[in-house]
Structure formats: C-alpha cells, structure tokens
Amino acid sequence: MEKDLKFPTFECMISNTVEQYDSDVEMYFIKNQELSTRLAELRFSDPEFKENYEKMLNYLKELSHSIVYKTEPPTHQFLIDLCMGPEDEGDTLKLLMESKDRVVPQLIRSSLIVREMMFWFVRMSKIPSFSEGFTVDRFQGFSFLRLALVYRALKINGN
C-alpha cells in the first residue's frame, strides 16, 4: 500500500505542465506569498506608510497575474518615485545593529525576500517552459521594490 503512495503534483498554468511541489516555480510563488504577508504586517507596524505597502501588495498581485497569464506587467512608477533622493543604501548590518524601532528589521527582512524573489525569477527565466512568463520586462520593478523598503528603513532609523 505504501509503495503506491506518490507525492502530489499541481498543474502549472504558466508552463501547462504537471509539476512537483519541489519545482522552482513553486519556490518563487512561496517567496511572493511570504513577502505579501510581511507587507501586510508592515501596514500595521508602520501605519504612516500604509498606503505604499498596499500599493506594493497590489503590484505583487498584478505581477503574478502578468506572469501566469502573460499579460503586460504592472507599472512600477510608484516604486521609482519612492526611491527618489540620495542613492545610498548604507550598511544594512550597521542599520540593523543601530535600529531602535522594530519596523527597521521587518523592512530589511522584506527587502531580502525581494532579493530572493529576484533570484528565483531569473532562474525561472532560464527554464524554457517558464521563460515566457518570467521575462525581463516583468522583472524591472524588483530592484525598486527592494530599494524602497531599504530607504524606508533608513528613514525610520533617522539616517
């Protein structure tokens, strides 16, 4: 009986294939959900910036839709606007060590999740069955999303 057991699979809409749960595409979307959860928490931890977190959440939702259905990527202009100013991230380790507000490490962790998503996105772009969904034009907002989160941490910390 136990010999007949198999791990479950899922039908992937991006590639039109049946995938195992250890598929790289699954990891990308797990990271997407993790970041979405963190941004949702930040709405409460940092209410002054709540509207921007909600825009980020909406951006991630629209980006996922764009990847799956291969539609135009959402605009990320609001992320570019959030990054206007001095282009200096500083030393994030020092920032974490000096932080006096719990929101600072939450923001840095969120920025690291964005970085992980970037890793998985690029990896997916190299797999022929997924490359049509994971394109360079859909990737463009990630750097600004990560940077916007780091800049917010710097601002909260008073840097």
Sequential DSSP letters for the chain: -GGG----EEEETTTTEEEETT-HHHHHHHHHHHHHHHHHHHHHH-GGGHHHHHHHHHHHHHHHHHHHHT-PPPP-HHHHHHT-S------HHHHHHH--STHHHHHHHHHHHHHHHHHHHHHHHTSTTTTTTS-HHHHTHHHHHHHHHHHHHHHHHT-
The parts of the chain modelled with pLDDT lower than 50 are none
What are the structure tokens assigned to 3, written together? 């010999």
pLDDT computed for residue 86 by the predictor: 66
* Span 40-86, pLDDT tens digits: 999 999 999 999 999 999 999 999 999 999 999 999 999 999 998 76
Q: What predicted TM-score, i.e. pTM, was given to this entire model?
A: 0.91
Q: How far from the centroid of its chain's Cα atoms is residue 150's Cα?
A: 13
Axis-axis angle for helices 103-125, 24-45 (nearest 10)? 160
Q: How far from the centroid of its chain's Cα atoms is residue 94's Cα?
A: 23
Burial readout 120-132 (b: 16 or more C-beta within 10 A, e: otherwise): bbeebbeeeebee
